[in-house]
Amino acid sequence: MKKKQDFDPFAPANRVNRVEVSPFVFSRVVSKIESKREEKSYREELGWKGAMLGSGAKSVGWSLNVTWIFAALVVVFLEVMVIRGALQGPSTGDIASAELMGDFLNQTEQLYDHEN
Amino acid sequence: MQSLEEIYRQHVHRVYNIALNHLRNVEDAEEVVQDVFLAVHEKGMQFEGKSSLGTWIYRIAVNRSLDKLKLRGAQKRGWGVLQYFDVFTQWVPQQDTEFNHPGVALEYKEELKQWFGWIDCLPEKQRTALILVRMEGLEISEAAQILGTTEKAVESLLGRARKNLVKFSQKSEGK
């Protein structure tokens, strides 16, 4: 049995040989770089198309918004007009002319009765 | 400025051996090599030149190897849970934990398998310090730069690793 002081716990490290890497690893690195580059350019292309589609969609959305806002304003305007019209009573001029018309009709009726 | 191929030829040997000594598996070590040089290609612009290019590359290699070890451990634990359910055992892939280090001669295989088993029980930094200094033959100062620490700290890590390995060997002899 080995004595404690003889035992070098790092000694087995000297029995591990250095190893050469397979020559194919570099070609795999290069192919990975190539595929990443292709993926990146494809994404960029997609991103560009997406951006174009996105801006188109944005403009469509913008015009839709304007239409809805305009329609809502028209509805509000009409409703205000209707409510204002309903709340507003007859003007004093209208009342006076109606009274005159009433007087005229009464007098015409009385004249007719008197003659008959 | 060096091309990727030149950088690869200059550093791949050490990167591969760092990964292999951490992972003891050829496929995993080759994957780490690919990841490292892919990162070098992608992040080459981020290299600030504060340390040498080699130190920067070996730091990436150490980090990727440790990440792979963690992933392996997590997968092991994950599949271990699944294996409690008989239903899953049919399709659960067996984890490749086989000792597959091409740098170990057949006559030393059993001895070194046990030794690497002890190394696996060491804390992460002690293990990396041991691999960089004792197995890769790096200078303490270079190992310190890779580990992002001081030379004294690396010496202390190696001292603690030595003590721990002695403890593990005594335990295994006591069995």
Alpha helices in chain B (DSSP H): 4-23, 26-43, 53-82, 86-89, 109-121, 124-130, 140-147, 151-174
Q: Is the ipTM of this complex over 0.95?
A: no
**Stretch B33-49: mean pLDDT, rounded?**
83
Q: At residue B166, does pLDDT exceed 50?
A: yes
Q: What's the whole-model pTM score?
A: 0.66
Q: Nearest CA to CA, how far is A36 from chain B (Å)? A: 10
User: What does the mean pLDDT of chain B come to?
Assistant: 84
Q: What pLDDT does residue B155 have?
A: 96
Find the residue in A nearest to B5 (Cα): A26
C-alpha to C-alpha distance for B62 and B127, rounded to whole angstroms: 11
Of A32-41, B105-114, B130-139, the range with the highest mean pLDDT is B130-139
Domain ranges for chain B, please list them.
1-101, 104-175
C-alpha to C-alpha distance for B141 and A70, rounded to whole angstroms: 74
Is the Cβ of A37 closer than 8 Å to some Cβ of chain B? no
When pLDDT is cut at 50, 70 and 90, the band that residue B22 belongs to is very high
Interchain contact, A26 vs B20, CB within 8 Å? no
Find the residue in B nearest to A37 (Cα): B42
Q: What pLDDT does residue A40 have?
A: 84
Instruction: Specify whether the CB–CB gap between A17 and B103 falls below 8 A.
Output: yes
Q: What pLDDT does residue B67 have?
A: 93
Instruction: Give the SS3 label for residue B154.
Output: helix
Residues 27-56 of B with CB under 8 A from A: 30, 33-34, 37-38, 41-42
Q: At residue B159, does pLDDT exceed 90?
A: yes
Interchain contact, A29 vs B130, CB within 8 Å? no
Q: At residue B163, does pLDDT exceed 60?
A: yes
- Could you tell me the fold of the domain covering B1-101? Rna Polymerase Sigma Factor; Chain: A (1.10.1740)
What's the token pair of residue A34? 């190539």
Rounded to 10 degrees, what is the CA torsion of A40, A42, A46, A51?
Answer: 50
Q: Nearest CA to CA, how far is A43 from chain B (Å)? A: 17
Is the Cβ of A22 closer than 8 Å to some Cβ of chain B? yes
* Highest CATH level, class, for B104-175: mainly alpha
Bridge partners, residue B104, by sequence = A16
Q: At residue B162, does pLDDT exceed 80?
A: yes
Residue A11's closest CA among B139, B108, B151?
A: B108
Instruction: Give the SS3 label for residue B137.
Output: coil
Q: What pLDDT does residue B144 have?
A: 95
The single residue listed with the structure tokens 């049995």 is A1
Q: What pLDDT does residue B45 have?
A: 59
Is the Cβ of B121 closer than 8 Å to some Cβ of chain A? no
Is the Cβ of A11 closer than 8 Å to some Cβ of chain B? no
C-alpha to C-alpha distance for A90 and A84, rounded to whole angstroms: 12
**Which sign does the torsion angle of CA A77, A82, A83, A85 carry?**
positive
In A, which residues are within 8 Å of B5 by CB distance?
A: 26
If one compares B118 and A43, the residue with the highest pLDDT of the two is: B118
Q: What pLDDT does residue A58 have?
A: 53
Instruction: Among B4, B17, B37, select the one facing A19 at the smallest CB separation.
Output: B17
Instruction: Specify whether the CB–CB gap between B32 and B15 falls below 8 A.
Output: yes
Q: What is the pLDDT of residues B71-107, one digit of tens each?
A: 887 776 665 555 455 444 444 434 445 678 899 988 8
When pLDDT is cut at 50, 70 and 90, the band that residue B136 belongs to is very high
DSSP labels for B89-135?
A: HTTPPPP----B-TTB-GGGHHHHHHHHHHHHHS-HHHHHHHIIIII
**Stretch B106-129: mean pLDDT, rounded?**
91
**Stretch B102-129: mean pLDDT, rounded?**
91
When pLDDT is cut at 50, 70 and 90, the band that residue B125 belongs to is very high
**Stretch B103-132: mean pLDDT, rounded?**
91
In B, which residues are within 8 Å of A12 by CB distance?
A: 108, 111-112, 115
Write out residues in chain A with pLDDT < 50, as ranges: 1-2
Q: What pLDDT does residue B127 have?
A: 94
Bridge partners, residue B19, by sequence = none
